Amino acid sequence: MQNDKVVITVAVTGGIGDKSRHPQLPVTPKEIADSAVEAHAAGAAVAHIHVRDPETAEPSMAVEYYQEVVERIRAKTSMIINLTTGAGARIIPDDSEVVGLNAGTTWRSPEKRVEHVLQLKPELCSLDVGSMNFGPRVFANVLPHVEKMAILIREAGVKPELEVFDMGHVEIAKHLVRRGLVQTPAIFQLCLGIEWGIPASPANMMIMMEALPPDAIWCGFGVGPASFAMVAQAALLGGNVRVGFEDNFYLYRGMEAQTNSQLVEKAVHILTALDREPAGSDEARRILHLE
């Protein structure tokens, strides 16, 4: 079904890279929150939040950083906050004969991965449902862990956004819905173009969309050069959209964006050209069934 109002999510800063990749990448809690607030003014209704160690810029799971970001955003906007639970899923093997875990491994228990969600109770949080190769590492989401996280998220009164990077992930997400671990209508995030996940193409987004439950609410995005093409494709298919420095640094070919708000502004222009409008925060709550 086509939506005239489209929810824009801004993925402010991901869990990979630092300011050596982009000098304007938000790192501190204040930078992350300020960037989300600016993106809200440009048209984003949802802020997808990762946090980082302010000293090293490395990904962090510290609840105090999440709390500062959440408090700063809530003090200035009504935007919907979506906290990641993807941290704590990284496995990097060493090269010894008996394979162990190398430096950079962050694999944690389900309880640890949702600790900040249980304490801060955002309206949304991400839930990565499947495992995959992710560059030189493994992004590990074993089914018993995913099921446990889904239960804890549900008991906290938070709605999960089911992150699917390939067709098998869609089936895992549907399994969670069938078991009642995720309430309906479920929210799906179609993640395309991540290395070793499903490639970003109009056909692949359509295939993923058609595999969703009939009552599903969904958003789609592509990474890198596919980012804005997937904004248009998701809008044409009746979905919602996501942009931000987590997914893409470039405003145009060869021209880096200086802020997340610039990426949101371009997404708004694309929606306008397709006779769509960005949903405000309260409209987004109705679309996402958060009320």
DSSP assignment of 114-150 equals: THHHHHH--SEEEEE---EEETTEEE---HHHHHHHH
Q: Which CATH number among 3.50.30.30, 3.30.70.20, 3.20.20.70, 3.60.10.10 corresponds to the domain 5-287?
A: 3.20.20.70
Task: Give the mean model confidence (pLDDT) for residues 24-41.
Answer: 96
Annotated domain spans of the chain: 5-287
Q: Is the dihedral of CA 272, 252, 10, 44 positive or negative?
A: negative
Measured in whole angstroms, the distance separating CA 230 from the mean position of its chain's CA atoms is 15
Residue 112 has pLDDT above 60, yes or no: yes
Task: Give the mean model confidence (pLDDT) for residues 154-172.
Answer: 97
Residue 1 has pLDDT above 50, yes or no: no
Least confident among 77-81, 104-108, 169-173, 201-205: 104-108
**Cα dist from 175 to 17, 84, 129, 162, whole Å:** 33, 21, 10, 12
Residue 87 has pLDDT above 50, yes or no: yes
- In whole angstroms, give the CA distance from residue 172 to residue 69: 31
Contact assessment for residue 125 and residue 83, using Cβ atoms and an 8 Å cutoff: yes
Find residue 232's DSSP bridge partners.
none
| Residue 23 tokens, joined | 């000098």
Contact assessment for residue 243 and residue 10, using Cβ atoms and an 8 Å cutoff: yes
pTM (two decimals):
0.94
- pLDDT band for 17, please (50, 70, 90 cuts): low
Burial class (CB in 10 A: 0-12, 13-18, 19+), 174: buried
Residue 16 has pLDDT above 80, yes or no: no
Residue 250 has pLDDT above 90, yes or no: yes
Q: Give SS3 for 230.
A: helix
| Residue 3 tokens, joined | 């939506």
- In whole angstroms, give the CA distance from residue 234 to residue 287: 15
Minimal CA–CA distance to 148: which of 120, 117, 170, 123? 117
Please give the pLDDT value at position 111.
94
Predicted confidence (pLDDT) per residue in 188-206, tens digit? 999 999 999 999 999 999 9
Contact assessment for residue 243 and residue 284, using Cβ atoms and an 8 Å cutoff: no
DSSP label at 195? T
Please give the pLDDT value at position 58.
86
| Residue 5 tokens, joined | 């109002």
- In whole angstroms, give the CA distance from residue 150 to residue 163: 12
Task: Give the mean model confidence (pLDDT) for residues 235-261.
Answer: 96
Q: What is the CA radius of gyration of the chain?
A: 18
